[in-house]
């Protein structure tokens, strides 16, 4: 590296070799340190400290670039092929040319954990599609007013049938949300919890169990690759659409194209993306994309159960709370029927009042996500959404802590 200006002859006080060495070795908080530095000088020289600092910065940048160069990836020839580029052309949608009316031009969906939440949402004609967790039909999932014996051998299946019927009578599509964790014995546990009499641990039993579910529903929601594979088995031969939740990686156009080739019907925008990244991805998408506009975001999916690890397994779904080092309380839902838990952010994400921003993103669908909310709380949120959907202004009392997520700041 060279300085921009030549070294000058000193008129008064020449620079010393120790002064140069001291200035050059100031690497600060960078990842570099000098193990050895030699300085060669002739005569009485003078150089401004500003030039030494710039020389050091330029040198460190050059070293860093040389160090990482060997790890740079080149674009495979297959990705440069014209057929691949053609397949990755952005999704053409007639809605894009006439989207001025806002949310009314895209589907409105709601994801729920309980039957009580679902029954509240059924009252709102603005919702087109319901995503209902399979955990709503396991364990004690018995219709009100009926004992387990009266329901026969499959109380969970009976409740599922009733829920699907309610949705269709209300003019809404019913999508079943599969578990976030799928182990070797998950199907066996679910079949037992729902009352299926089948050897679900075998391949034939798994197929019968999934066929029994697929016969009732309009679609499936998968949260990751392994669950997506199970969902494809479930939808095989029935043309059931499989929608991917935001926990399935879809951060860029290439990953969305990959999901498309694997047979996914639609994806969800990742909550880690900021507004600029969302707009860019929306233009490049090759599958219909959904945006979550309300809900507590999951921070961790864990095979560990806080109840089992502290006081022993209770075999009962519970909502617990954890306190972090800053005193913030986050809630945990443990799913005992398949033995895993999810930690959720206590601050609720909301874009409901950001209609203009959501419209400019032009999503194919928007989603409201409910997990710990009671029936009155669900109604409160739905009233606000319904008012915004029609363009009305309505004052609604929100939870104390509302977050915009990564809309502005993104992920570092």
In SS3 terms, 184-251 reads as: CCHHHHHHHHHCCCCCCCCHHHHHHHHHHHHCCCCEEEECCHHHHHHHHHHHCCCCCCEEECCCCCCC
Higher-confidence position of 365 and 87: 365
Q: Could you tell me if 350 and 298 lie in one domain?
A: yes
Does the CA dihedral 13-17-18-21 come out positive or negative?
A: positive
Give the 3-state secondary structure of residue 383.
Answer: helix
Confidence at residue 75, expressed as pLDDT on a 0 to 100 scale: 60
Residues 145 and 63 in one domain: no
For residues 117 and 158, membership in a common domain is answered with yes
Instruction: Check whether 175 has a pLDDT greater than 90.
Output: yes
Note whether 14 and 155 are same-domain residues: no
Cβ(382)–Cβ(308) under 8 Å? no
Q: What is the spatial distance between Cα 335 and Cα 332, in angstroms, rounded to a whole number?
A: 10
For residue 23, is it within any domain? Answer: yes
Query: What is the rounded CA–CA span in Å between residue 274 and residue 388?
Result: 23
Q: Decide if 85 is inside a domain.
A: no
Tell me the pLDDT of the chain averaged across its residues.
79
- What pLDDT is attached to residue 96? 36
Residues 310, 394 within the same domain: yes
Query: Do 197 and 56 fall into the same domain?
Result: no
Same domain, 188 and 303: yes
Q: In this predicted structure, what is the pLDDT of residue 92? A: 53
For residue 84, the model assigns a pLDDT of 47
What CATH code is carried by the domain that includes residue 135?
A: 3.20.20.70
Q: Are residues 232 and 149 in the same domain?
A: yes
Please check whether residues 52 and 160 belong to one and the same domain: no
Q: Are residues 19 and 118 in the same domain?
A: no
Does residue 94 lie within any of the structural domains? Answer: no
Burial (CB count <10 Å: 0-12, 13-18, 19+), residue 329:
exposed
pLDDT digits (tens, 9 = 90+) for 187-239: 777 777 676 655 544 556 556 666 766 777 888 999 989 889 888 776 666 67
- Three-state DSSP class for 57? helix
Q: Which of 47, 69, 91 is the last residue of a domain?
A: 69
Going by C-alpha positions, the residue among 139, 137, 189 that lies closest to residue 163 is: 137
Which of 175 and 138 is assigned the larger pLDDT?
Answer: 175
Report yes or no: 160 and 175 within 8 Å, Cβ to Cβ: no
Confidence of residue 132 (pLDDT cuts 50, 70, 90): very high
- Only one residue has tokens 């009733």, namely 162
What's residue 375's pLDDT? 92
User: Is residue 81 included in any domain, yes or no?
Assistant: no
The continuous run of DSSP H or E covering 176 comes out as strand 173-177
Domain presence at residue 61: yes
The pLDDT assigned to 316 comes to 73
Mean pLDDT along residues 150-158: 53
Q: What are φ and ψ of residue 216, in 5° steps? A: -100, -30
Give domain status of residue 206, yes or no: yes
Residue range of the domain that includes 65? 8-69
Residues 323, 329: contact at Cβ < 8 Å?
Answer: yes
- pLDDT of amino acid 90: 59
Domain total of the chain: 2
Best CA proximity match to 132, nearest among 152, 109, 148: 109
Domain annotation covers residue 374? yes
137, 251, 276, 351, 389 from 358: Cα distances, Å = 33, 18, 12, 8, 12
What is the structure's pLDDT at 105? 57
Residues 255 and 151 in one domain: yes
């Amino acid at each position: 590296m060279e300085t921009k200006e030549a070294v000058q002859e000193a008129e008064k006080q020449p620079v010393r070799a120790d002064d140069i060495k001291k200035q050059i070795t100031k690497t600060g908080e960078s990842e570099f340190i000098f193990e050895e530095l030699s300085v060669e000088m002739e005569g009485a020289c003078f150089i401004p400290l500003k030039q030494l600092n710039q020389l050091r910065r330029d040198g460190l940048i050059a070293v860093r670039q040389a160090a990482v160069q060997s790890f740079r990836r080149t674009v495979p020839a297959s990705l440069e092929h014209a057929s691949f580029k053609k397949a990755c052309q952005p999704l053409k949608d007639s809605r894009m040319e006439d989207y001025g009316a806002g949310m009314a031009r895209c589907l409105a969906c709601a994801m729920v954990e309980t039957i009580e939440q679902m029954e509240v949402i059924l009252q709102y004609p603005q919702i087109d599609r319901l995503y209902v967790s399979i955990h709503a039909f396991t364990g004690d999932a018995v219709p009100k007013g009926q004992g387990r014996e009266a329901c026969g051998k499959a109380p969970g299946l009976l409740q599922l049938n009733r829920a699907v019927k309610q949705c269709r009578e209300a003019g809404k599509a019913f999508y079943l949300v599969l578990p976030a964790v799928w182990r070797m014995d998950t199907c066996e546990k679910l079949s037992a919890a729902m009352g299926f009499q089948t050897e679900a641990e075998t391949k034939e039993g798994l197929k019968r169990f999934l066929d029994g579910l697929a016969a009732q529903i309009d679609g499936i929601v998968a949260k990751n690759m392994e669950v997506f594979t199970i969902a494809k088995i479930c939808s095989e031969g029935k043309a059931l659409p499989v929608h991917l939740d935001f926990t399935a990686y879809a951060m860029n156009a290439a990953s969305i194209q990959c999901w498309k080739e694997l047979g996914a019907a639609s994806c969800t925008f990742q909550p880690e993306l900021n507004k600029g990244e969302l707009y860019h991805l929306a233009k490049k998408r090759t599958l219909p994309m959904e945006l979550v506009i309300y809900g507590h975001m999951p921070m961790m999916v864990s095979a560990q159960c806080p109840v089992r690890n502290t006081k022993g397994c209770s075999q009962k779904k519970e909502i617990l709370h954890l306190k972090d080092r800053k005193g913030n309380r986050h809630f945990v839902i443990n799913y005992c029927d398949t033995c895993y838990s999810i930690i959720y952010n206590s601050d609720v994400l909301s874009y409901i009042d950001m209609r203009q921003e959501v419209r400019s993103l032009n999503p194919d669908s928007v989603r409201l996500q409910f997990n710990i909310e009671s029936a009155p709380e669900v109604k409160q949120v739905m009233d606000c959404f319904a008012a915004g959907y029609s363009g009305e202004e309505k004052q609604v009392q929100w939870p104390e802590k509302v977050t915009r997520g990564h809309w502005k700041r993104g992920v570092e």
